Amino acid sequence: MDRKKELKEIYKEMKIEAGVYQIKNTQSGKIFIGTTRNFKTLNGLKFSLKAGTFTNKELQKDWSDYGEGAFSIEILEVLKKKDDPYFNEKEALSELENKWLDELQPYEERGYNKRKKR
């Protein structure tokens, strides 16, 4: 099997994990908390920041001003999926995000998130 096919197979076999991530500006200490249903999409998120098309304008401006090297992206928590037929991944992800937003308070001068109405 050639290397390209081998890599595709490895990629397909990777477990799809959902959860909460953080983008941190290491210069200012400001953070952005976000969720994803698939951590593989974090590369796309980074691409969107590099392209200047990220939806959070304040974070995008700082990324453009400080440069990629001034930011770190890390996974804060992986969502534990349940075998319950009534398990709602979207709802569980939202609860997990709210837990981290409450804990880290990434608002105003501390971060890039906007307060949500719950």
Sequence spans of domains, the chain: 15-102
Average pLDDT of the residues in 59-86 = 92
- pLDDT at residue 11, as a whole number: 65
Q: pLDDT averaged over the chain?
A: 91
Fold observed for domain 15-102: GIY-YIG endonuclease (3.40.1440)
Q: Is the pLDDT of residue 116 over 90?
A: no
Q: Which residue has the higher pLDDT, 3 or 103?
A: 103
Report whether 69 contacts 18 (CB < 8 A): no
- What is the 3-state composition of the chain as percent helix, strand, coil, each rounded to the nearest 5? 45, 20, 35
